[in-house]
Structure 1
Amino acid sequence: MKIGHLIRAERVRQDMKQVVLAKGICTPSYLSKIERNQIEPSEDIAKLLLERLGMDPEKFQESDEETEIEFEKMLLETYREVITERDLNFTREKLEYLEQNVPLFENDSLHYTYSLITFRFNMIVRIDSEKLKQEIELLEEFIDDFNVYQLYLFHLNKGLFCYNTGNVKMAIHYYELILHKLESLPLGEWEEAEFNFIIAVFYMADGHTFNSIDHARRALNFFREQLMMSRVLDCYILIGISYKRSDKFQDALEAYSKAMQISEEFNLHSEKGIIYHNLGTLNSAMGNTHQAIEYYKKSIDHKIDPSEKLITILSLIEDYSKTGEKDLVRDWAEKGITLYHQLDDENQISYFHHFSFYQSLHSEHGLSVEIAEAAIQHFKEIKDFRFIHKYCIALAEWYYNNRKYKLASSLYRDGIRYGYIYSKKEKWEDL
Structure 2
Amino acid sequence: MKIGHLIRAERVRQEMKQIVLAKGICTPSYLSKIERNLIEPSDEIALLLMNRLAIDPSKLQKNDEQTELEFKKLLMDTYKTVITSRNDELTKDKLSYLEQNSPLFENDSLHYTYLLITLRFRLILREDIEVLKNEIEALQHSVDQFDAYQLYLFQLNKALFYYGSGIRKKANAYFEDIVSKLDIIPLSEWERAEFNYMIAIIYTSEGNIFTAIDYIRKAMDFFLKNLQMNRVLDCYIIIGITRKRSEQFEESLDAYSKAMQICEDFNLHDEKGIIYHNIGTLNSTMGNSEQSILYFKKSIDSKKEESEKLISIFCLIMEYSKLNDKDLVNHWANIGLAIFHKLNDESLRSYYHHFHLFKALHSEEGLVETTEAAIQYFKEIQDFRYIHKYCIALAEWYYQNRKYKLSSIYYREANRYGYIYRKVEKWEDL
TM-score category of the 2 structures, normalised to the smaller one: over 0.9
Q: Larger deviation: 304-313 or 180-189? A: 180-189
Question: Which position in structure 1 is the counterpart of 2:419?
Answer: 420
Please list the CA deviations of residues 160-205 of structure 1 after superposition, one character each: whole Å capped at 9, or x if unmatched.
Answer: 2332333444444434444344445432211111111011011111
Q: Which has the higher contact order (CA 8 A, sep 6+)?
A: 2
Answer yes or no: is 1:240 the counterpart of 2:253: no
- What residue ranges of structure 1 are gaps of 5+ in the alignment? none
Is the Cα–Cα contact under 8 Å of residues 15 and 131 in structure 1 kept in the other structure? Answer: no
CA-CA distance at 1:24 after TM superposition: 5.0
After TM superposition, list the pairs within 5 Å mapping 1:129-168 onto structure 2.
Answer: 129-168=129-168
Is the Cα–Cα contact under 8 Å of residues 171 and 202 in structure 1 kept in the other structure? Answer: no
Answer yes or no: is 1:109 the counterpart of 2:109: yes
Identity %: 64
Matched to 1:148, the amino acid is A
CA–CA distance in 2 between the matches of 1:180 and 1:393? 36
Matched to 2:310, the amino acid is L
Residues 103, 249 of structure 1: alpha-carbon distance in 2 compared, 3 angstrom cutoff? same
Question: Which position in structure 2 is the counterpart of 1:381?
Answer: 380
Question: Which position in structure 1 is the counterpart of 2:333?
Answer: 333
Residues 103, 58 of structure 1: alpha-carbon distance in 2 compared, 3 angstrom cutoff? closer
CA–CA distance in 1 between the matches of 2:181 and 2:56? 43
Question: Which position in structure 2 is the counterpart of 1:258?
Answer: 258
Please list the CA deviations of residues 271-325 of structure 1 after superposition, one character each: whole Å capped at 9, or x if unmatched.
Answer: 0000000010010000000100000000000000110011111000001000000
Q: Larger deviation: 399-408 or 31-40? A: 31-40
CA-CA distance at 1:96 after TM superposition: 2.2
CA-CA distance at 1:5 after TM superposition: 2.9
After TM superposition, list the pairs within 5 Å mapping 1:264-343 onto structure 2.
Answer: 264-343=264-343
TM-score by length of 1: 0.93
SS at match of 2:104: coil
Q: Larger deviation: 160-169 or 335-344? A: 160-169
Answer yes or no: is 1:7 the counterpart of 2:17: no
Residues 207, 33 of structure 1: alpha-carbon distance in 2 compared, 3 angstrom cutoff? farther
Question: Which position in structure 2 is the counterpart of 1:51?
Answer: 51
Q: Larger deviation: 214-223 or 21-30? A: 21-30
Please list the CA deviations of residues 333-389 of structure 1 after superposition, one character each: whole Å capped at 9, or x if unmatched.
Answer: 11111100000101111100100111111123333x221111010000000011001
Please list the CA deviations of residues 103-150 of structure 1 after superposition, one character each: whole Å capped at 9, or x if unmatched.
Answer: 332222222222222221221122333333343344344444333322
CA–CA distance in 2 between the matches of 1:100 and 1:33? 29
Answer yes or no: is 1:79 the counterpart of 2:79: yes
CA–CA distance in 2 between the matches of 1:201 and 1:83? 16
Question: Which position in structure 2 is the counterpart of 1:394?
Answer: 393
SS at match of 2:423: coil
SS at match of 1:122: helix
CA-CA distance at 1:421 after TM superposition: 0.9
CA-CA distance at 1:66 after TM superposition: 1.8
SS at match of 1:241: helix
SS at match of 2:402: coil
CA–CA distance in 1 between the matches of 2:413 and 2:180? 37
Residues 160, 377 of structure 1: alpha-carbon distance in 2 compared, 3 angstrom cutoff? same
CA–CA distance in 1 between the matches of 2:372 and 2:361? 12
CA-CA distance at 1:81 after TM superposition: 1.1
CA–CA distance in 1 between the matches of 2:30 and 2:363? 60
Answer yes or no: is 1:40 the counterpart of 2:40: yes
SS at match of 2:274: helix
CA–CA distance in 1 between the matches of 2:163 and 2:297? 28
Question: Which position in structure 2 is the counterpart of 1:347?
Answer: 347
Answer yes or no: is 1:220 the counterpart of 2:220: yes
Residues 177, 376 of structure 1: alpha-carbon distance in 2 compared, 3 angstrom cutoff? closer
Backbone CA RMSD of aligned residues:
2.2
Is the Cα–Cα contact under 8 Å of residues 216 and 238 in structure 1 kept in the other structure? Answer: yes
Q: Larger deviation: 173-182 or 268-277? A: 173-182
Matched to 1:346, the amino acid is E
Is the Cα–Cα contact under 8 Å of residues 392 and 412 in structure 1 kept in the other structure? Answer: yes
Is the Cα–Cα contact under 8 Å of residues 129 and 346 in structure 2 kept in the other structure? Answer: no
CA–CA distance in 2 between the matches of 1:144 and 1:8? 13
Aligned residue pairs: how many? 430
CA–CA distance in 1 between the matches of 2:271 and 2:136? 32
CA–CA distance in 1 between the matches of 2:83 and 2:200? 17
Is the Cα–Cα contact under 8 Å of residues 391 and 414 in structure 2 kept in the other structure? Answer: yes
Please list the CA deviations of residues 224-276 of structure 1 after superposition, one character each: whole Å capped at 9, or x if unmatched.
Answer: 11111110111111111111122221111111111111111111110000000
CA-CA distance at 1:84 after TM superposition: 1.0
CA–CA distance in 2 between the matches of 1:222 and 1:50? 45
Residues 14, 334 of structure 1: alpha-carbon distance in 2 compared, 3 angstrom cutoff? farther
Question: Which position in structure 2 is the counterpart of 1:407?
Answer: 406
CA–CA distance in 2 between the matches of 1:28 and 1:121? 34
Is the Cα–Cα contact under 8 Å of residues 63 and 103 in structure 1 kept in the other structure? Answer: no
- What residue ranges of structure 2 are gaps of 5+ in the alignment? none
Matched to 2:354, the amino acid is H
Matched to 1:106, the amino acid is E
Is the Cα–Cα contact under 8 Å of residues 300 and 312 in structure 2 kept in the other structure? Answer: yes
CA-CA distance at 1:152 after TM superposition: 2.7
